[in-house]
Structure 1
Amino acid sequence: MSGFRFEATVVHWRGPSPFFFAPVPPPCGDEIKRLSTFVTYGWGMIPVEATIDGVTFSTSLFPKNESYLLPLKAKVRQKLNLTAGDTISVEMRVQPAQRR
């Protein structure tokens, strides 16, 4: 599947379930949107494998503001000592949806 590389500033969403995300830049979001009908498993979620500073993890992108947000799992953030405002380099590959 398609791969992407980008830099992002970690954001903290203070909704009912606080979480940290890396916003996907719009040019990458446009390409992901093009692939979405082939890989989404519902609600616009896009499965990906991401690597930040040598730490690889699987998650799903959330659609947001004409692009996507990459959720940063607590385990990943703790291992890399990441918090809101940090700039990160992301390598990300869109994965095929796991149909059950």
Structure 2
Amino acid sequence: MDWDFEAEVFQWRGPAPYFFTATPEDVDAFLRDHLVELTYGWGVIPARVRIGDTEVRTSLIPKDGVYLVPLKVALRRPEGIDDGDVVRVHLSVGD
């Protein structure tokens, strides 16, 4: 399944800061409805994420009723993505 959506980038400031976007409600609903067939454990779902010309493999992380899309350095750096940016995300799961 594939989706395109816009989302704001936010930074989680922990021992190792990380950047995320959240999936929209319609994507969350689909992921919850198909969780058993998509997850490899703990609700984590493998995915492909493309922003601009850069695509990476990652895993969606459930948090407070939504799924977070981790934005790896390999994705952020070539696309010049930073905290607070609004990005166009192409998300694929179930490959």
Q: TM-score range by the shorter chain?
A: over 0.9
Q: Note the C-alpha offset of 1:32.
A: 1.2
C-alpha contact (below 8 Å) 1:26/1:66 kept by paired residues: no
AA aligned to 2:39 is T
1:49-87: CA deviations, max 9, x gaps?
111112111100000121100000012111111111000
Q: Note the C-alpha offset of 1:17.
A: 2.6
C-alpha contact (below 8 Å) 1:49/1:95 kept by paired residues: no
Q: Note the C-alpha offset of 1:37.
A: 0.7
Match of 2:68 in 1: 69
AA aligned to 2:53 is G
**Unaligned 5+ runs, structure 1:** none
C-alpha contact (below 8 Å) 1:4/1:91 kept by paired residues: yes
Match of 2:16 in 1: 17
Q: Note the C-alpha offset of 1:91.
A: 0.8
Runs of 4+ displaced beyond 6 Å: none
**Unaligned 5+ runs, structure 2:** none
- Structure 2 counterpart SS, 1:30: helix
C-alpha contact (below 8 Å) 1:11/1:85 kept by paired residues: yes
Taking the TM superposition and a 5 Å limit, the aligned residue runs for 1:29-40 are: 29-40=28-39
- Structure 2 counterpart SS, 1:44: coil
Match of 2:49 in 1: 50
Q: Note the C-alpha offset of 1:19.
A: 0.3
Identity, % of aligned positions: 37
Q: Note the C-alpha offset of 1:95.
A: 2.7
